Amino acid sequence: MPRILVVEDNRDNMTLIVDVLSSLDYEVIQALDGEDGVNKAKSEKPDLILMDLSLPKMDGWTATRLIKSDETIKTIPVIALTAHAMVGDRERALEAGCDDYITKPINLPQLMTKLNEYLGE
């Protein structure tokens, strides 16, 4: 069962994402801020990370840079999951090290396509 770390500070969004991923038989690890996300990426070594970019303590861009600069976890795919949908936001997320980018509100078919792509389902 693939393990997905969801880094999301909005509890409603977290509940929705966890419910969807659990129904698809993914094991979900939760982090409510960027700092916790980096720590859980190191300790849990998930198969994939869904990273909100607007987070307390440490934003998702910084958290992603730290994950991608750590030799032990840098190969974990990070998908930005964000309401930042302005021109340049996708590029900024990719420059920070995100492997892909999904805008909120979440489009479930798009999310499922990305999960299949990165987890080889």
CATH number, residue 37: 3.40.50.2300
Number of independent structural domains in the chain: 1
Q: Give the pLDDT band (50/70/90) at residue 17.
A: very high
Q: d(Cα 51, Cα 54) in Å, to the nearest integer?
A: 9
- Is residue 116 pLDDT above 90, yes or no? yes
Q: SS3 letters for 10-60? A: CHHHHHHHHHHHHHCCCEEEEECCHHHHHHHHHHHCCCEEEECCCCCCCCH
Residue 46, preceding peptide bond in cis (omega within 30° of 0): no
- Is residue 59 pLDDT above 70, yes or no? yes
Q: d(Cα 114, Cα 56) in Å, to the nearest integer?
A: 26
The lowest-confidence range among 5-9, 99-103, 105-109, 112-116 is 105-109
Q: What is the pLDDT of residue 45?
A: 98
Q: What is the pLDDT of residue 121?
A: 62
Q: What is the mean pLDDT of residues 84-96?
A: 82
Residue 85 falls inside a structural domain: yes
Residue 121 falls inside a structural domain: no
Q: What is the pLDDT of residue 75?
A: 97
Residue 19 falls inside a structural domain: yes
Residue 61 falls inside a structural domain: yes
The whole model's pTM is what?
0.94
Q: What is the pLDDT of residue 48?
A: 98
The CA-atom distances, in angstroms, between 23 and each of 17, 27, 28, 74, 97 are 10, 10, 11, 28, 29
Q: What is the pLDDT of residue 43?
A: 98
What is the widest separation between alpha-carbon atoms in the chain? 36
- Is residue 84 pLDDT above 70, yes or no? no
Would you state the structure tokens that stand for residue 106, as one six-digit string?
């979440």
> What average pLDDT does the chain have?
93
Domain that holds residue 38: 3-116
Residue 49 falls inside a structural domain: yes
Q: What is the mean pLDDT of residues 26-35?
A: 97
Residue 17 falls inside a structural domain: yes
